[in-house]
Amino acid sequence: MPEVGIREGEKLHEIMVTVEDSMTTYEYDRHFIVYPQMVWSEKRRPAPTGKKVPEGFSYSSGNNKEWLSVEQIRELLKTVELEK
């Protein structure tokens, strides 16, 4: 019988934006962008248009406030084109 539940060493949450990354993270309508901390060429320096996140900000699955229902996931899956 297969083991059900959390296995030893398994993560409960995934950190997408760390506190250290908050210095260069900007929030947009539906996503965040973590820009590079160092830029080697002024021509390639990003020009963020989003809203700068507060210092000390972090984002992980543990503090996510928006969750899809099972039905919403089913509807989204209908829009995925299957590879043949």
Q: What are the pLDDT digits (tens) for 38-82?
A: 877 877 778 889 999 999 999 998 888 888 899 999 988 888 876
pTM over 0.85, yes/no: no
Please name which of 29, 17, 20, 23 lies closest in space to residue 64, comparing C-alpha atoms: 17
Spatial distance between the Cα atoms of 46 and 59, rounded to a whole number of angstroms: 22
Which pLDDT score, from 0 to 100, does residue 66 have? 84
- In 1-84, DSSP assigns E strands to 15-17, 25-27, 32-34, 51-52, 59-60
